[in-house]
Amino acid sequence: MTMKDTGLIPVTIRAVGVNGSGNISLQLIAQQGGLLPAYLPGAHIDVFIPEIGPRQYSLCTENHSGEYYEICVKLAENSTGGSRFIHHYFSAGDNLTISAPRNHFPLPDAGKYLLFAGGIGITPVLAMAEQLAQQQTEFELHYYVSDREKAAFTSRLNAPALAKNVFSHCREANDSLRHLVPLSLCQPEEHTRVIACGPDGFIGRLEEIMQTYHWQADQLSFERFSNTNLNNDTGGDEFYIQLNSTGQRYLVGPNQSIAEVLLSARVDIMLSCEQGICGSCITDVIDGIPDHRDCVLTEEEKADNTQITLCCSRSKSPLLVLDL
């Protein structure tokens, strides 16, 4: 993992608490005192975990004064170490480092919103719902869990400002997107946007439903937990990358990533998730045609071919000139 020093924030864990079965919430405050940087719903931070590296977590702070950040972490069954370490070793009073907030999952402009959260995907979606309620914007929030004990943020979801617009669904009661389609999804509306966060299967099912009922593709915005393209589209033809600042060229082999080549050449880049889901390594493209394999850039941004994720995307042209 490599990341420029700019934007790193030393914080202290103010509180740790259980937030539904298998989930813990952490409140983080600035070590030096003062306010933390402002952010909008949908933003996430990197949490730097000792001997493991950065892991990305959505910000779900109820109080947006900047006094603290809150994240909620599920203990993943197939954890690569991050969630396990946080659950077993993080305690109130511990010091750690986080990144400044980044937001590649902002709320788009719309007249009405249908919010869908699968499991721990409730974290960014809850923050969005609370903002929409404060703005008195029309919305529905559909929250799907495997069993009710795993539901997080129940007190906030049941608050008067949200409760009337929140619909909880439980798989053990045969109330999942596979079994029952919410009525609002069966009636496409031109000025409505569908916002979703959850596992790949959850997002895929939502896409199928929207296609069935003739929603437009650009009415859906989502954030996945992982990038399935990494398993399906690894490797490719070799190509060259060129640094716009110096003209230096480097060959990217069939099984190398652009980020690997740049790091080997000691080029200073930001790199975090290495899956194309966090957006930290997005770099401007001066010339050439990227082969986009991320799931953080929008379809419009990909079509513009002016940006690329260095960690997983490749090139359709023999040469890519990067704004580095």
Distance CA 136, CA 88 (A): 40
- pLDDT tens digits for range 182-221: 999 999 999 999 999 988 889 889 999 999 999 998 899 9
Distance CA 151, CA 166 (A): 13
Give the separation between CA 29 and CA 262, rounded to whole angstroms: 34
- Which candidate, 141, 91, 98, 146, places its Cα nearest to that of 120? 146
DSSP 64-75: TTSS-EEEEEE-
φ, ψ of residue 138 in degrees (nearest 5):
-70, 130
Rounded to whole angstroms, the Cα distance separating 82 from 206 reads 28
Domains of the chain: 8-99 (2.40.30.10), 112-224 (3.40.50.80), 234-322 (3.10.20.30)
Identify the sign of the CA torsion 152, 279, 289, 255.
negative
pLDDT at 35: 94
pTM: 0.77
Give the pLDDT band (50/70/90) at residue 97. very high
Quick one: pLDDT at residue 79? 64
From CA 269, how far away is CA 195, in angstroms rounded? 31
The model's confidence at residue 299, banded by pLDDT at 50, 70 and 90, is: confident
13-22, 124-133, 134-143, 296-305, range with the lowest pLDDT: 296-305
Task: Choose from 75-79, 265-269, 290-294 the range with maximum mean pLDDT.
Answer: 290-294
Burial annotation 240-276 (CB, 10 A radius, 16+ → b, else e): bbbbeeeeeebebeeeebbbbbbbeeebebbbbbbbb
pLDDT grade for 228, boundaries at 50, 70 and 90: low
pLDDT at 227: 57
CB 167 within 8 A of CB 140: yes
How do the residues of the chain divide into helix, strand and coil, expressed in percent and rounded to 5?
Answer: 25, 30, 45
Predicted confidence (pLDDT) per residue in 268-286, tens digit: 887 766 677 777 788 999 9
| Stretch 40-48: mean pLDDT | 92
Residue type, 224: R
Most confident of 13-17, 75-79, 312-316: 13-17
